[in-house]
Structure 1
């Protein structure tokens, strides 16, 4: 059953624009969904362009969810998936360093950047699936979301990461790598390729599974920048089965797509949920691997989101 958002309800809204993926912005429902499945909302922290008034707009129902409950006095662990409050919204990331019980470094996959936050600006990352929070909460304390003084016009998701010559990844000719893309429809996917050479501040690669339109026998070549290339991730053996809520990569349409196990089926099959498209697919175990992130020259294993 679809969630019903009455007038006056506080919600969170995401955007389909590539620069805002992974971000959720709080809003109040001004008018319930119409026949076009649009909800009219007023944002709490976003200001309309050329105006001092809060931004109002119609949002697609699929981009709206309730405000996630939060635990009081929660601390966070290494590799835990969290949402961090900055740039007027909640942005999905992963804990990469625990400084103490109140400060944590968070890596954001969408912008390939890393920042440090106090615990008060973090919450455990959860997905709204079939009108339920995944993972569910054991003890729920509803907390009002922060509204910082002064709001800004919509901004893209953080600054782009700068690479110095010394920090640029280094590969040998013929090395197998994986590359990603910000192009619409390919966000969340990693494609297998062969490294050829460095071209200025970019890398020339040859795809392993995609051919050119002109000659389908010739593999496609392209240049990518440092934030879109990484080594092949090391294989992590799965002893028996993947677990529910575990983050995985799925081999689908000649690429690895990041998702999460939403249901364990019989006969070594699983239902996998894809956040970027909000879709679920039935996948065999042989087409899955444990998800890892390449952060600052190291592989980080994002553990399954757990309640505490």
Structure 2
């Protein structure tokens, strides 16, 4: 059944990684509801590695844009954009190195994730309800300083598991004056070094565990399914935000958070540490 679990995990990861609804929360629900027999260590490692498929989908979806990086020495806009992307990753890298283990040991629990979903959904609703007129309509106009601030706000997802990296970076961008489409696109770009680096590092560190317990074929299946579904999710989300706000996601987050709390209260799900 490992191949089946790999497919389901890939679908969930690909759909939820770039939507502002927390891939962490959905993967927790998926693993618990399916009764995946893998150990906690194997599940954690597998979930991080298949993020690589989702990240690859961003590179493929925006391949023309990413090729422009070769013009950073001659194009000031490209230089500012990519410098901003790199700078935005710094807060998460520093925070992860200094406090990542402590955060996982104390906060990586279903109840914490549930409340992060609920509170994040409420904040999303409030931000959309009090929306100011955006003044940035292209990622090339974000600037290094604003990029750094978005990167700092992205750390909320690390400090509070389940809040969602996509939600924190998109909402952070909107608060700082980006329109929805620009904030969403920048969140995709920001995910490449942030999540791609984590997936690669995890693959190197846990290669014996991943390939020994799950197998190379199942890893490729999970990553491949994650790539396809994430690619489709990116296109859908960009079309959605062009004509809609994020309030439907806010409602959905609250529903999923409440569902996790109900599963905990009824004993269907345990509140043990997930890291």
TM-score class normalised by the smaller sequence = under 0.3
The structure with the greater share of residues assigned to helix is 2
In the superposition, the TM-score normalised over structure 1's length comes to: 0.24
Higher radius of gyration, 1 or 2: 1
In the superposition, the TM-score normalised over structure 2's length comes to: 0.26
Higher relative contact order structure (alpha carbons within 8 Å, sequence separation ≥ 6): 2
